[in-house]
Amino acid sequence: MDIDGAGRERNEDVDDDSGEERPDAVLEPSELATVAAERTQRIRQYLKDRQARREVVTTTRTPLDQVVDWVPIESLAPNGRVADPPGEDGFDTEFLDHPADGNEVRPAELIRF
């Protein structure tokens, strides 16, 4: 992809005249490994940065061993408006309120994220 002078992305894989795609570029195994390692590092850094912005108060595990971070509701709704919880026909999250072996139940003043 290339960004033109107006800040738009341009897909260089499409031939503008015929609408046919150009063949994919073939990378050498060493180049492919380097590209994959760089991409993995960027993803890891993004996730670390995103986690650092969260106000995680505590972390619990569900009976299915899923990790749940608990954050103050104000951190997700700075204007004070929070979406209504799902109705009776919505997703059942009751299992999140029961701790896995050796873990604590969620704090009452927090919401799961």
Q: Which amino acid is at 84?
A: D
* Mean pLDDT comparison of 14-18, 55-59, 94-98, highest-scoring range: 55-59
Q: Where are the domains of the chain?
A: 24-53, 58-82+92-112
List the 67-72 sheet strands across, edge first: 58-61, 67-72, 110-112
pLDDT at 16: 59
pLDDT, tens only, 37-72? 999 999 999 999 988 888 889 999 988 889 888 988
First-to-last alpha carbon distance for the chain, in angstroms, is: 34
* Mean pLDDT comparison of 8-22, 59-73, 80-94, highest-scoring range: 59-73
User: 109: alpha, beta or left, given left = phi > 0 and alpha = psi -120 to 50?
Assistant: alpha
- pLDDT exceeds cutoff 60 at 3: no
